[in-house]
Chain A
């Protein structure tokens, strides 16, 4: 716990991924959490986001999540950012944190978080969900490739995807555990390796995320960046 005292985790998104991530961070003890979520708790959120209860319906998600966190962990220091995570606030929010947890499940925000974290030299733990698939990646600026090395940019808008709450809980808990590892100065389990887990088959695979020459985000700092080993299961 002592290694985490005084460290700050910026958690972007307080819902399906961010709620479990914040709970995992809180349970580690000592971490200060800054939550950013500009939404309100909607009916559909109550089908798979256990950081919220029915009494939270219609309330701001960030403050509802913070209330639950402090109820479960009374000594936790948690702050809800009044500003959303946008181009105007991203730089300042990221600079004030020791690690960035992208649990936004929103493509433009994912890439904004990636760009801001790389620019600030802060490690980024990223999580994503699509139907029965969860993915986790840690970006260490100057060492690993980044989200834009892998995907270049957000995909075009598509139909709404399904969501399975406990799969998000699985990924979100690991996302929080990864942030704890990074704050403790340990190597990230997903540093430079995208974990893709498909729930129906139960299979996971590892996609190496190497610096992509010409990447618009990390190209300037990752010349000669480390090549990450692959792994499969």
Chain B
């Protein structure tokens, strides 16, 4: 079976999605996604993006695998034998085992992402990463866990920034099941963006949204620019 035939077979069910088709699958294949974080929220997201056929994934995480930390329990990507390893390398290994269709490596200065997914465990890190993506003009999705729930903010190019959509506040570390749900939802949002299936103008531009998860129930609302926020001057 050729690589093309193998891809046809692997992504056959995904291509059946209304509006996706071969063209959408090509957009997914051509995407280069910078993923910030490799913990309990990012792990499931990374695996789903790799298996969905994202062409290139840059993994960005500075921590080591630590079974006691709140980010590694239930991350789906680490085993007990990997304790002490850099999480970024353990995640790269897991993604390569999951799919040979993805080019995956640690983030480097020559990386040229086309989109960013932020699943950092610490909110200040997430905000810095989101701001960098915004200033680079990249569509981005940010997942912020909070105990049994959390929030996913989707920011196409030109949409209100994370600061407009979500104010800083005290949050609990995400529990593993909720973190996986949050990471999965963030991966859904990112795939909708790169496949140009996100509601809006057809190119994923302009309108953002925020999905809150509480007690197992999602609720969505459009984001709005805070008066005076400088994000309107950057895009």
Contact = CB atoms under 8 A, between A and B. Distances in A.
Interface stretch (B56-64, B73-81, B124-132): B73-81
Interface stretch (A96-104, A160-168, A208-216): A160-168
Contacts of A231: 217
A contact residues, range:
35 or more
Contact of A48 (B13, B16, B199): B13
Contacts of B197: 200
A126 interface: no
B188 interface: yes
A143 B11 CA distance: 41
Interface in B41-61: 44-45, 47-49, 51-53
Contacts of A136: 216
A23 B13 contact: no
A167 B79 contact: no
Given A23-B180, A72-B78, A166-B184, A46 B98 contact: yes
B16 A163 contact: yes
Contacts of A3: none
B164 interface: no
A53 B191 CA distance: 21
B44 A50 contact: yes
Given A20-B44, A132-B17, A166-B187, A189 B215 contact: yes
Interface in B164-210: 176-178, 180-181, 183-185, 187-188, 191-192, 197-199, 209
A111 interface: no
Interface of B: 6, 9-20, 44-45, 47-49, 51-53, 73-74, 76, 78-80, 97-100, 148, 176-178, 180-181, 183-185, 187-188, 191-192, 197-199, 209, 211, 215-220
**Lowest 6 A-B CB distances belong to which pairs?**
A27-B74, A233-B219, A169-B184, A162-B17, A162-B16, A27-B176
Given A48-B48, A202-B220, 15 more contacts: A24-B177, A43-B6, A46-B10, A47-B52, A74-B79, A162-B13, A167-B188, A172-B184, A174-B181, A180-B177, A199-B192, A201-B199, A203-B220, A231-B217, A233-B218
